[in-house]
Every structure is written in C-alpha cells, then in structure tokens.
Chain A
Amino acid sequence: MASHDEVIAIAERVRSGETSALDVTQAALAGIEAKNGRLNAFLTVSHESALDQARAVDAKRARGEKLGPLAGVPIGIKDALCTRGVVTTAASKILQGYVPPYDATVVARLRAADAIIIGKTNMDEFAMGSSNENSAYGPVKNPWDPERTPGGSSGGSAAAVAARMVSATLGSDTGGSIRQPAALTGTVGIKPTYGRVSRFGLIAFASSLDQVGPFATDVRGAARVLGVISGKDSKDATSLGAPVDDYEGACGKSVKGLRIGVPAEYFAKGLDPEVEASIRAAISELEAEGCVVRPVKLPHTRYALATYYIIADAEASSNLARFDGVRYGLRVEPSGPGKADLKAMYGATRDAGFGTEVKRRILLGTFVLSAGYYDAYYLKAQKVRTLIRRDFEEAFREVDVICSPTSPTPAFRLGEKVDDPLAMYLNDVYTLPASLAGIPGCSVPAKPTASGLPVGLQIVAPWLEESKMFSVAAAFEARSPGLVPPQAS
C-alpha cells in the first residue's frame, strides 16, 4: 500500500471494485491487533461492527449504488467523540463503560461517507494534557520510540496513523491537541477554523476553543476527511454556515507568489536547535517553490499560555460539572457513618472518577471564576485574547499564511515532564495563539532530527482560509520525504 494518498487510494480502490471494504477492514483490524499491545493507541476496537459496516459498503456497491468519498476507509475516532453503541470514556474513569445512545455529528458524517468506524483512540483524560500520560487507561507510546510520548491530548489518534494501523483518525484540538501530536509522530494534523466543524457529540473541554479535525498519513487524505466532516450543523449553534471549499482541489494548486509570514516570536528561547534548523529549511523549500517569505510580528505571543490556561480551565470547570454520578458513568456512594446525601455523592464520585490533572484544572477554573477574582483573571484573559486575535488580523494584512515550528522540541521521554505542569504546558506554546484566535492551523512532517525523531511544520491561515493552508502544506509535502516509523511496516 502506498504511503502517500492512502485515504484516497483506499476509497478509490473500493469504489472501483479493485478491492473490497471487507478486505481493507480485515487488514486494518489485523494491524491494530498486532501493534496495539505495544502502543496502546486504541482503547476500544469495534471488531464486529467494523466488519458489518464493511459488508454494508460492499453490498451497496454490489447493488450499483454510488459510494461515498471515504468508501471502505477505516477511521479511528478519539474517545472524546460519542459513538452510538460503542463505549466512549474520554479516557476517564468517571465515564468507564458509558455507551452513548447517539453519534457525534462528525461520526454520523463519516458513516454517511461510507467510512468504517473501526474503534476509539486513547487520549489524555478529557483532552487535558500534552503527552497522553493523563489517560486513565495508560499512556500511548510513540511509534518512533516507545520510550517517548506521542504528544497529546490526541496521542492515540496520532500514534494510530503514524504506526499505519489506519490511514486516518479524528482528534480534537483545544490548545494544540491535534497539531502537537501530529508533529511528534510525523503525521499530518489539521485544526480547522473555530466553528467550521460541528462540536455536537464532542465531550466538551473548553467550548470556545474545542475543534474536531483529522489526522492522516498525507495532506490530501486529511483534506478529504475535513471536507466530509465540515459544514453547518443545526445541532451546534456555533457551527458556521459558510460554504465548504474544495480542500482536496486546493492541494494541487500552485503556491507561487503566496506570501509566507515568519514570526520572530516563535523562534525564541526554548526552541530546540534541531527543530529550528528543520523549520528554517522547510521555509526555504517553500521559498524555492515560489513563495515570498517575510517577517511578521505577533507581539502578544508570550501571553498566550497564561490566557489559554485561564480561559480553558474556566470553561472546563463549568463543562465538567455535569459529571456528578447521576446521569451516566461512575457513581460512588460515600462510605462511613451518617446518611448518604446528594452532595457527598457528588464529591465521592468526582474524587474517584477524575485524575489529578483534571482536578488541577477544575480547581484553577473554579478559582478564576469565583467571586472577587472573575475580573482580575477571567475577564482579563478574555481581553488579552482580543489582543492575540488582533495580532493575527494585523499579520494577515501582510501575508497569506504563517509558518513556524509546531512544537518547541521533538518527542520527549515518558515521565520526563509529568511532575512539572508548567514545563508540560510549554509544549503547546506555538499552537495556543491560533486556538485563541480561532484560526485554522495544521502540522505537516518536516525533516526529522539527526536521531530520527519527527519535527512538525505548523502552517496557520486566516479564518476559513483552510484552502490556502492545504495548498502550502501539499506543496511542502511534495518536496519532503514521507515519514514512516521503522516498526510500522
């Protein structure tokens, strides 16, 4: 199977009858079975239902019906997205065994496009983390080096694609949770414009930031998946009605004359020298392709991390209030003398169900929203968010897209930063500003380090200009070697 255009190659072969959806699905299931013990990328594998879906696609073809754009393509779904009839836990003990009675809109759209929903991928609990070490079901290992993290929070979705268990997955990105793991695993990861993709059925972390997006082995494959899941959804009032562009078509477009902005603030202290060299080389490649490179200023970049953690944690503390042991998931009745009461049950359930990182963020979020502190922290952060958004508005008057490293370092070792929350949070320093501004961004594999670890080039574009981002990403991909981890084949 070719490593490039895998999503599209599979769909076209199934549509033409050259191969069956059942064969593709069986091969993917075998690959997951062979590799998952080592990587822990999947939490649930829907063996029987995936085979049933594949048979249904083949039967549709046999009846002469037209197949969808993802015909027979097995896709892994981050466990933060609800899947009807399939356990969905957000990698938390508090949702252990929860089986949603409905599909997230993005999952329903994949099914309608004849994709095969093959299973649920591991993640940091409630998408809180940058290394996938906060999963209640154990960390994911990076296929390039199992002693290293694949990044987070969509670490399972990234590792599953990197290891070629599947050619595409869905993740969710709140502060960089698609782009950062894509960079650390050598895959393509896309965070669309805020509102481009419905959040209905996504277990909420921070509602003003969360976006669903694809991982894929190649840019065109990611473009096809994004095209399928994008567009207005009446079930999500924040989803946008703007027409969905032809992302796949944008991949072949010339980038000659396109202006690329390079922000000095993203090449500052803390950036690994090998990552810097790789990204500067990538920008030179784009220049060789005819792009015009110029410096841009994003002066409020250094405030993005503090702004993000106030806003995201405030929203998280509110969203996670719904996990109280009443309607779904875990319930713990308090032990000891005295009559059980409702408040004590909430406390006991949340104590047993949430991990430390989730508790830490709920506490910070509750603090910044509490009486006396709201204006000083939460409102202040919302105002700084405006300044960060304006930085991008100014920059995009001068350039078409902005290029930078996705992550300041290559994949770090498991356990290396787990006891230092601030050091861990700094991993997202280059992805957070675009999240706060709501603009689209992607990570595409650049030249790896000398020791063979992947490096990601981040490309961000103005609101709803995903097509420009895809054109640049595809142009760069055409000039760079595909990355396949040594143990994937």
Chain B
Amino acid sequence: MTTRIDRAQVEHIAQLASLVLADDETERLTRELAEMVRYVEELNELDTSNVEPTAYVQLERSELRGDAVEASLQRDETLAQAPQSAHGGFAVPTFVEN
C-alpha cells in the first residue's frame, strides 16, 4: 500500500493527537511525514503473512504481584505538582455546562 500524506491529513492527525500546529509547522511536518511514510513503506517488500507479531520481547510470563496494601503517593505532594488544584483534586477548565 502507498499512502499519500497531505496537509489535510496532517491537520486531522494533529487533532487526534491534541496538537495545535502553526501554519509553517504544518507545512514542514507534512513534507517530513510524507518522506518518513514513504521510507517505512519499504517493509512492504517482505512477505509477513505467516509471521507472528512481536509486541514485547518478554523472556518469561509476567507474574502478578501480591494483592497487598502498600503506601501510595501522598495527595498533597502529588497535587503540589499540578498547575492548578482545588478542593483536593486537579482543577481543569469547565467542560460540562450547567
């Protein structure tokens, strides 16, 4: 498959990724992304129809840890790193109308 990357597509991907791009940045990234996508399409040369995918190179099955109560981060200490906090939680702009 050969995919053509255009400006509208980059704007759509940027929106999916919550990225706001300036005009000149969109233009440059469209060019660069098109070049990178063309490059990675060299994988199409390989027939992988009978190959299992590797998601993780794990050597052993992960063990679940015990269901034990452990100390967790302190709320005050964690909220101290937030740009804004209120009423013991993270504060965000309004996103639900009354």
Contact = CB atoms under 8 A, between A and B. Distances in A.
Interface string B22-39: 100100010011011101
A463 interface: yes
A367 B51 contact: no
Interface string A214-258: 000000000000000000001001101110000000000000000
B36 A421 contact: yes
Interface in B48-98: 48, 51-60, 62-65, 73-74, 77-78, 80-84, 90, 92-95
A330 B39 contact: no
Contact of B54 (A240, A347, A382, A422): A382
Contacts of A385: 53-54
B23 to A, nearest CB: 12
A346 B94 CA distance: 13
Interface stretch (A48-56, A184-192, A349-357): A349-357
Nearest to A309: B40
Contacts of A100: 81
A384 B86 CA distance: 48
A327 B62 CA distance: 29
A418 interface: no
B79 to A, nearest CB: 9
Nearest to B81: A328
Contact of B81 (A99, A376, A377, A380): A99
Contact of B13 (A339, A367, A387): A367
A101 B56 contact: no
A325 interface: yes
A101 B78 contact: yes
Q: Chain A: interface secondary structure?
A: helix
A464 B57 CA distance: 12
Contacts of B58: 194-195, 238
B20 A364 contact: no
Contact of B19 (A238, A341, A342, A354): A354
A6 interface: no
A386 B21 contact: no
Nearest to A84: B77
Interface in A311-329: 317, 321, 324-329
A366 to B, nearest CB: 4
Nearest to B53: A382
A387 B78 contact: no
A359 B19 contact: yes
A440 to B, nearest CB: 12
A98 interface: yes
B2 to A, nearest CB: 10
Contacts of A387: 46, 48, 51
Contact of B57 (A98, A331, A438): A438
Contacts of A101: 73-74, 77-78, 80-81
A324 B90 CA distance: 12
Interface of A: 98-102, 193-195, 208, 234, 237-238, 240-242, 300, 303, 305-307, 309-310, 317, 321, 324-331, 333, 339-348, 350-351, 354, 356, 359-360, 362-364, 366-368, 370, 373, 376-377, 379-387, 389, 421-422, 436-438, 463-464
11 contacts: A194-B56, A317-B17, A328-B81, A342-B93, A347-B20, A350-B18, A359-B29, A360-B32, A363-B14, A363-B29, A383-B48
